[in-house]
Amino acid sequence: MSTINTYFDNLQALLARTLETQQSSMETAARRIADCMKGGGMIYTFGTGHGHLLALEIFYRAGGMARVCPIMDDKLMLHVSAAGSTLEERKEEWVPLLLERYPIKENDILISISNSGRNAVPVLLAREARARGAYVIALTSMNHTTAVTSRNSLNLRLFETADLILDNGGVLGDAAISFADGSMVGPTSTAVGAAMLQAIVCRVKELSLDEGFEADFFKSSNVDGGDAWNDRLIERYKDMIPGLL
């Protein structure tokens, strides 16, 4: 059996364990997001480094909720300077700058994503959002974050700043397959995190139909009628969500 099989076996087992252990938390997340939509709030997502992939996972995509605003800055993402972004996410001065551009407020939701949950920006952004009255959901690895110290002046890790924790179940360091030379490969945080977020989105849609509240969802732009459908939603939300238009 090759490591292709090993990775898939590990991932399938982790996904099954995640469903078993995190279903209640995912249900709570969906319920809070549904209530946020009912009240006209915004769902903000934030992650640095590869966590940013998950911040974009539920933004402007086929079947995705329209009321999602990813918090973005090039210096905190990988495409300008991957190594540089690692250093930037440890700088606390980013938090007021981000909140100036993305004014998280009471009754909004912030999904803050960090596998290690130790670096300053995702942690302190979550803390400040919660202080402003937003509901904070942390997507993190409890195995990793409880094995490390914080890297911020308040000595906090992400799970310690959140109202709700979504645990991706990943191992310390994320990469899950070890080799004879001591190297570790095969991270799982993106695959599991994406599955958790999309499961929550599906449940929000189900709740909207069961309870009869308005919840806008995008269609694929590559199916007939998709452009016209999405253009209507873009017009509705363009002034609320930087980067949508």
Q: Which CATH number belongs to the domain containing residue 197 in this structure?
A: 3.40.50.10490
* pLDDT exceeds cutoff 80 at 213: yes
DSSP letter at 154 equals T
* pLDDT exceeds cutoff 80 at 203: yes
Average pLDDT over residues 180-188: 95
Query: Would you state the pLDDT for residue 46?
Result: 97
Q: Which residues contact 245 (CB under 8 A, 6 or more apart)?
A: 234, 238
31: amino acid identity, one letter: R
* Burial of 2 from C-beta contacts in 10 A (0-12 / 13-18 / 19+): exposed
Contact by Cβ (8 Å): 145, 157:
yes
CA distance 211 to 205: 10
Query: Would you state the pLDDT for residue 80?
Result: 87
- Please check whether residue 15 lies inside any domain of the structure: no
The rounded percent of the chain whose pLDDT value lies above 70 is: 100
Q: Which domain holds residue 202?
A: 23-171+182-237
* pLDDT exceeds cutoff 80 at 1: no
Question: Worst-scoring range by mean pLDDT, 1-5, 19-23, 191-195?
Answer: 1-5
Average pLDDT over residues 2-18: 96
At residue 49 the predicted structure's pLDDT band, cuts being 50, 70 and 90, is: confident
* pLDDT exceeds cutoff 90 at 192: yes
- Please check whether residue 17 lies inside any domain of the structure: no
- Please check whether residue 11 lies inside any domain of the structure: no
- Please check whether residue 242 lies inside any domain of the structure: no
CA distance 10 to 12: 6
Contact by Cβ (8 Å): 55, 194:
no
- Please check whether residue 70 lies inside any domain of the structure: yes
Q: Which residues contact 160 (CB under 8 A, 6 or more apart)?
A: none
- State the CB neighbour count (10 A cutoff) for residue 168: 26
Three-state SS at 28: helix
* pLDDT exceeds cutoff 90 at 66: yes
**pLDDT (tens digit per residue) in 108-157:** 999 999 999 999 999 999 999 999 999 999 999 999 999 999 999 999 99
Average pLDDT over residues 205-221: 96
- Please check whether residue 8 lies inside any domain of the structure: no
* pLDDT exceeds cutoff 80 at 215: yes
- Please check whether residue 18 lies inside any domain of the structure: no
Domain count, the chain: 1
- Please check whether residue 5 lies inside any domain of the structure: no
- Strand pairing partners for 139? 113, 166
Query: Would you state the pLDDT for residue 180?
Result: 93
At residue 239 the predicted structure's pLDDT band, cuts being 50, 70 and 90, is: very high
- Strand pairing partners for 119? 151
